[in-house]
A = this chain, B = another copy of it.
């Protein structure tokens, strides 16, 4: 008899997201030795499937226990050295924090901050790269705090044109498996993400891939990596060992989470819905939610000119209607069994809420999650006396 998870509220925040029964069941896998011949191919295959998801056939995947944030530490310490100049494109909370992380390890971040609700401007990026030489540029693909989608492909193209030596670091925490990514074709040097968003797994994994150029940069460092637990020197041989079917040890991998990851990646890369169709469904559902919001008389946090192409396909940030706030919407939605996220951007966190629409809620249409959330939101607004 197949495993069925316990009844629970519908989790429609921009991560963690709803997790499929088979993935949760894999997370309850019996305890296995991290060195066992049964587990080795599971880890190895998961690494290979990650390459497919991000279209990075030449990239080196790295999967360790941690959270998305740990990917920033790994970039700051393996790819960069103290004193390195970094251009940080900031579209919300996560750009600010990435800059703080870089500075912690001695890199010199310069932030290029977009107006709240707007993506980074390609012209401004080009201008900044002309004015100063940067070792790396960081892009938050989707800023989970605002739902802004940056044009990672366009920005990478600008980098190649203006400053091709600059390494491109893409924070894909809220974009991998819900947004189109072509790591190799775009020339992304380091792509970092987490398990609990588009991948549809429980949180607890820090995932990333490094380009061949990133690995060469790492190998040519003048100083040793300023990190121990996240050191590529430690982890690259481990990843290579598991992928080649052998075993190596540095720190115990989170075995159950890797079973869960493997299960989810199987669905994403070779399930009944192709990866291309999965991404198309995210675009379709995003339009459905965003149109639905407008139909209810609400508007996105995103500035008007960004509301079509500058916003995420896996989440929507929505302004409260005039006179309403979190207390009027979020607890009432939760009472109806639907969990939304609060605002997060420091300058306006009380002015908007966030809806996540990624993974099974999007791909498995028969669940009806999107219709459920829109219907309840409409009813809650009506209850509050709001009409369009």
Q: For the complex, what is the distance from the CA of A34 to the CA of B16, rounded to whole Å?
A: 8
Q: Nearest Cβ in chain B — how far from A304, in angstroms?
A: 29
Q: Confirm or deny: A104 has a beta carbon within 8 angstroms of a beta carbon on chain B.
A: yes
Among the listed B5, B203, B228, B252, which residue makes an inter-chain contact with A196, where contact means beta carbons less than 8 Å apart? B252
Q: Is the CB of A203 within 8 A of B16?
A: no
Interface of chain A residues 258 through 272 with chain B (CB within 8 A): none
A6 to B, closest residue via Cβ: B30
Interface of chain A residues 1 through 51 with chain B (CB within 8 A): 3, 5-9, 11, 13, 15-19, 24-25, 27-36
Q: Is the CB of B256 within 8 A of A194?
A: no
Q: Confirm or deny: A279 has a beta carbon within 8 angstroms of a beta carbon on chain B.
A: no
Q: For the complex, what is the distance from the CA of A34 to the CA of B340, rounded to whole Å?
A: 12
Q: Is the CB of A67 within 8 A of B69?
A: no
Q: Which residues of B contact A203 (CB under 8 A)?
A: 34, 65, 252-256
Copies in the complex: 2
Q: Confirm or deny: A66 has a beta carbon within 8 angstroms of a beta carbon on chain B.
A: yes
Q: For the complex, what is the distance from the CA of A73 to the CA of B105, rounded to whole Å?
A: 14
Q: Is the CB of A251 within 8 A of B69?
A: yes
Q: Confirm or deny: A72 has a beta carbon within 8 angstroms of a beta carbon on chain B.
A: yes
Interface size classification for chain A: 35 or more
Q: Which residues of B contact A255 (CB under 8 A)?
A: 16, 202-203
Q: For the complex, what is the distance from the CA of A67 to the CA of B205, rounded to whole Å?
A: 11
Among the listed B17, B28, B67, B70, which residue makes an inter-chain contact with A28, where contact means beta carbons less than 8 Å apart? B28
A residues at B contact (CB < 8 Å): 3, 5-9, 11, 13, 15-19, 24-25, 27-36, 64-70, 72-73, 76, 100-101, 104-105, 194, 196, 202-206, 224-231, 249-257, 339, 341-342, 344
- What are 18 A-B contacts defined by CB distance under 8 Å? A3-B3, A5-B28, A5-B30, A7-B30, A16-B32, A16-B252, A18-B31, A28-B28, A35-B341, A35-B342, A36-B339, A65-B65, A65-B204, A67-B251, A69-B229, A69-B251, A104-B227, A203-B256
